[in-house]
């Protein structure tokens, strides 16, 4: 099978056809109170698309390029309709070469343009890693501050869709270790809608990870553009007994685990990291100081993971606040399995997170 994942991409496009944006973007007003903002029912995918539409309309220097972003509407249908709206110059279908469109994006950014580059999956981004790490991330420093590479590199990450071991890994922790870039990972509709704007305005390269299992996440958003920062972590659920630290695809599972535990009178606080570099240590340590127990959820392999980095920071900065060993719930250290049941088993699940929390609070059941 080609690495272009034709079958799954077709499946995603089919989902898109069902939830046509024109229908779902219909504005609706809350019954009361009167000052409540107009909201729109949307999905993570549509929120990302709206974010593109906003930055493309706002700044003529912005353009999107990558494989299948134009006529096909994006491998995961994020850019569907943008070619018709903004034209071929600004929604550029490219030859099949990750290093080429990333490197050319760097060149265009050096000239003052604001490219958004879409790489189909994080696994394919390895073909562009030299351009990202040895070039985009270093040029400002190696030019004594003279050069800027204001580009956004978007890519899909994460497993859970039966795309097997060459399309499903969570390598964002690798990127989070690189000085010179910012790494962000929206897990909510609000962030899917709001993070691209500040990412495009960032004078440095930003790597934006879209979690593949979130594209169909649905909910409501205000009709007006959403403003969020790309600096801080967010507490998505307040709690007192234990802190869950998660991001992207792990957030929903952590929230589900918190629900499970609430029934057992264990109160879990859930932090959504949002920004993987730089990590928001203050939010993490403040929460640990309140709860004294931690579970870190990471869909990447445990060894050398972002979860390992966060564990180390907690030990360095809040060791005496801990009442129990830090728990990590990570993916099995195997290439992500293709078989559905094995894939599910390899990934962190809500019940795994709840079990880790019970160990940490000493509530073995």
Partner 1 sequence: MSDKVVAELHEPTPSVGDGGPDMIQLLTPEGQRVSHPDYDKYVADLTADELRSFYRDLVLIRRLDAEGYALQRQGELGLWPSLLGQEAAQVGSGRALKPHDFVFPTYREHGVGFVRGMDPQSSLQLFRGVSQGGWDPAEHNFHLYTIVIGAQALHATGYAMGMRMDGNVGTGDPDRDTAVICYFGDGASSQGDVNEAFVYAASFDAPVVFFCQNNQWAISEPVEKQTRIPLFQRARGFGFPGVRVDGNDILATYAVTQHCLDEARNGNGPLLIEAYTYRMGAHTTADDPTKYRVSAEVEEWKFRDPILRLKSYLAHEGMADEAYFTSVDEEADRFAAELREGCVTMKTMPGETMWDHIYAEEHPVMEAERSAYLAYKASFEEAN
Residues that bind partner 1 (CB under 8 A): 63, 89, 92, 94-95, 97, 99-113, 115, 130-131, 134-135, 139-148, 179-180, 182, 202-204, 278, 281
Q: Which two tokens stand for residue 65?
A: 């390029």
Nearer to partner 1, 63 or 124 (CB): 63
Nearer to partner 1, 82 or 346 (CB): 82
Q: Catalytic: which of 16, 50, 54, 98?
A: 98
Q: Catalytic: which of 50, 54, 167, 327?
A: 167
Nearer to partner 1, 109 or 347 (CB): 109
Nearer to partner 1, 278 or 325 (CB): 278
Least spacing, CB of residue 205 vs partner 1, in Å: 10
Contact in structure between 339 and 327 (CB atoms under 8 Å) = no
Active site residue 54: no
Least spacing, CB of residue 177 vs partner 1, in Å: 10
Least spacing, CB of residue 263 vs partner 1, in Å: 38
Q: Angle formed by the axes of helices 249-262 and 350-361, to 10°?
A: 50
Least spacing, CB of residue 306 vs partner 1, in Å: 14
Least spacing, CB of residue 182 vs partner 1, in Å: 8
Active site residue 167: yes
Least spacing, CB of residue 276 vs partner 1, in Å: 13
SS3 for the chain is: CCCCCHHHHHHHHHHHHHCCHHHHCCEECCCCCCCCCCEEEEEHHHHHHHHHHHHHHHCCCEEEEECCCCCCCCCCCCCCCHHHHHCCCCEEECCCCHHHHHHHHHHHHHCCCEEEEEEEEHHHHHHHHHHHHHHHCCHHHHCCCCCCCCCEEEEEECCCCCCHHHCCCCCHHHHCCCCCCEEECCCCHHHHHHCHHHHHHCCCCEEEEEEHHHCCCEEEEECCCCCCCCCCCEEEECCCCEEEEECCHHHHHHHHHHHHHHCCCCCEEEEECCEEECCCHHHHHHHHHHHCCEEEEEEEECCCCHHHHHHHHHHHHHHHHCCCCCEEEEECCCCCCCCHHHHHHHCCCHHHHHHHHHHHHCCCC
State the maximum Cα–Cα separation within the chain, in Å, rounded to a whole number: 61
Nearer to partner 1, 190 or 281 (CB): 281
Nearer to partner 1, 33 or 145 (CB): 145
Query: Active-site positions?
Result: 98, 167
């Amino acid at each position: 099978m080609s690495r272009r994942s034709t079958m799954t991409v077709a499946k995603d496009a089919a989902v898109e056809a069902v939830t046509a944006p024109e229908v779902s973007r219909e504005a609706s007003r809350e019954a009361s109170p009167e000052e409540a903002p107009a909201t729109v029912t949307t999905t993570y995918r549509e929120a990302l698309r709206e974010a593109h539409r906003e930055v493309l309309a706002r700044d003529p220097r912005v353009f999107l390029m990558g494989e299948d972003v134009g006529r096909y509407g994006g491998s995961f249908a994020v850019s569907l309709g943008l070619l018709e709206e903004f034209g071929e110059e600004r929604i550029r279908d490219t030859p099949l070469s990750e290093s080429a469109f990333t490197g050319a994006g760097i060149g265009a950014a050096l000239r003052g343009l604001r490219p958004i580059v879409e790489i189909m999956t994080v696994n394919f981004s390895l073909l562009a890693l030299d351009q990202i790490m040895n070039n985009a991330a270093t040029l400002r420093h190696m030019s004594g501050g003279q050069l800027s590479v204001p580009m956004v590199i978007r890519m899909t990450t994460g497993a859970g869709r039966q795309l097997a071991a060459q399309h499903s890994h969570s390598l964002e922790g690798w990127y989070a270790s690189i000085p010179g870039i910012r790494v962000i990972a929206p897990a909510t509709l609000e962030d899917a809608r709001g993070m691209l704007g500040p990412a495009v305005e960032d004078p440095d390269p930003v790597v934006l990870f879209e979690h593949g299992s979130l594209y169909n996440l649905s909910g409501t958003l205000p009709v007006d553009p959403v403003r969020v920062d790309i600096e801080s972590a967010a507490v998505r659920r307040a709690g007192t007994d234990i802190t869950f630290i998660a991001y992207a695809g792990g957030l929903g599972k952590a929230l589900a685990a918190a629900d499970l535990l609430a029934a057992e009178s264990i109160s879990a606080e859930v932090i959504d990291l949002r920004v993987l570099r730089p990590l928001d240590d203050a939010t993490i340590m403040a929460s640990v100081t309140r709860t004294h127990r931690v579970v870190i959820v990471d869909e990447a392999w445990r060894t050398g993971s972002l979860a390992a980095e966060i564990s180390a920071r907690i030990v360095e900065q809040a060791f005496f606040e801990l009442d129990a060993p830090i728990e990590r719930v990570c993916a099995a250290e195997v290439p992500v399995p293709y078989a559905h049941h094995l894939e599910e088993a390899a990934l962190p699940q809500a019940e795994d997170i709840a079990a880790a929390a019970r160990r940490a609070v000493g509530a073995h059941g």
